[in-house]
Amino acid sequence: MLKLIAAITLMLALTGCGNMVQTSTTTFHGPDHSLRGKIIVMPIDKSQENSLEFANVSTFLMKRLATKGYGAALSLDESQFVAFITYGIDNGTIRTSTVPIFGQTGGSTSYSTGTLTNSVGRTATYTGATTTMPTYGVVGAGLDEETEYKRRVNIDIWRRDVIAVKVYEMKGLSSGSCGNVNAVLLSIVDGMFRSFPGESGRTETAATEWGGKC
């Protein structure tokens, strides 16, 4: 029974992990990258500038930038920095894995019958049962197929000057079963800023919460 409880606990823990998004981020530093000032988030594609989708993403990104010392600029003219964000997802790769099947591995009830004779020659029939405690464990294995998608997010931060200078280049990579990049995008951005600015060229991995709706 203890093994069964442990197996169920493990399965619940793995299910809980399904609501977390892991993101690996590599950040490169440019000259004077530690300088801070007012910043505005802009799309690479100008057609996205007035979309509700980009408004949601840019607002979230601005909140993360604010925790790292930047102030929000109301317009491009008053900003000292500009952040650009791009993102995408691949077509997915089918992954096949072996999953254990748990069940009863031992324990049973056996029955026996017989005849008893007393000292005066009378007989009686008896029936007895012997039960051993059940044990649980892995009784087999099954195949599980899942499509894994790679989601990529790039965030570049430029300092506005006579000649614009790139001060940060962030490359985020996340893999998972959700094929809708917009559903996990904010969680990926959150993970990218967990150790910002970090060490230039070093890859950091962070797990962030996700609502689970794909």
For each of the domains in the chain, give its residue range(s) and CATH number, in order of start.
21-96+150-209 (3.30.160.670), 103-142 (no CATH)
Which two structure tokens, joined as six digits, stand for 110? 């056996």
How would residue 172 be classed by pLDDT, with cut points 50, 70 and 90?
very high
Q: How confident is the model at residue 28 (pLDDT cuts 50, 70, 90)?
A: very high
165-200 burial code (b ≥16 CB/10 A, e <16) = bebbbbbbbbbbebbebebbbbbbbbbbbeebbbee
The rounded mean pLDDT for the chain is 85
Band (pLDDT 50/70/90 cuts) for residue 140 is confident
Q: What is the pLDDT of residues 34-67, one digit of tens each?
A: 999 999 999 888 777 788 999 999 999 999 999 9
Does the pLDDT of residue 10 top 60, yes or no?
Answer: no
Q: Please provide the size of the chain in residues.
A: 214
In this prediction, residues 22-36 reach a mean pLDDT of 97
pLDDT at 128: 66
Predicted confidence (pLDDT) at residue 130 exceeds the cutoff of 80: no
Amino acid in the structure at residue 66: A
Give the whole-number percent of the chain exceeding pLDDT 70: 81
Cβ neighbours for 134, distance < 8 A, ≥ 6 positions apart: 1, 104, 106, 107, 108
pLDDT tens track for 63-91: 999 999 999 999 999 999 999 999 999 99
**Cα–Cα distance for residue pair 157/130, rounded to 1 Å:** 75
Look at residue 13 in the predicted model and tell me its pLDDT.
40
Phi then psi dihedrals of residue 119, to 5 deg: -70, -20
What does the pLDDT average to over 147-170? 96
Residues 23 and 208: beta-carbon distance below 8 Å: yes
* Mean pLDDT of the 186-212 span: 95
pLDDT of residue 135: 83
Tell me the mean pLDDT in the region 3-30: 66
| % helix, strand, coil for the chain, step of 5 | 20, 50, 30
What pLDDT does residue 21 have? Answer: 95
Instruction: Please check whether residue 39 is in contact with residue 71, taking contact to mean a CB–CB distance below 8 angstroms.
Output: yes
Bridge partners, 18 (sequence order): none
Element (H, E) at 204: strand 203-209
